[in-house]
Amino acid sequence: MSIPLYRCVNGEQALAFLFRRDPYTNPENAPRPGLVLLDLNLPGTDGREVLCQIKRDKNLKTIPVIVFTTSSSPNDIESCYQKGANSYIIKPINFNQLKQSIQTILDFWFTANTPPIDLSEAGAS
């Protein structure tokens, strides 16, 4: 299975991509992701704010957001779930464990999970 990957290096770039703001105004350059892996510790606009903006937007709120971060703070975990995170995973430090965690995420969300149907794209009204 081939899954396209789009990487954003900071919160502002992630929001521009998701909301299709300059330089991502062409939907071909900013397709709707099937999943967002979100680090809380992004430079600039942090992952907490990115999560809030995703989950407040009617067009983005059904996209699963997995917080994938080094923070094991109970406050961060609780706050992210309160803001609508679909999962919270603490990044393993070991590279092999990191690869396994990412593979498990992909297997679940793109194989076992049934995502919501976008009725606007399915032709329903």
pLDDT of the chain along its 125 residues, tens only? 677 889 999 999 999 999 999 999 988 888 889 899 999 999 999 999 999 999 999 999 999 999 999 999 999 999 999 999 999 999 998 999 989 998 898 888 888 888 776 655 544 44
Q: Please check whether residue 47 is in contact with residue 25, taking contact to mean a CB–CB distance below 8 angstroms.
A: no
Of the options 3.40.50.2300, 3.40.50.10860, 3.90.1150.10, 3.40.50.300, the CATH number for the domain spanning 11-112? 3.40.50.2300
Q: What is the pTM of this model?
A: 0.84
| Non-local CB neighbours of 14 within 8 Å, separated by 6+ positions | 8, 36, 38, 42, 45, 50
Helix (H) or strand (E) holding 106: helix 95-107
The angle, 0 to 180 degrees and rounded to 10, between the axes of the packed helices 74-82 and 47-56 is: 20
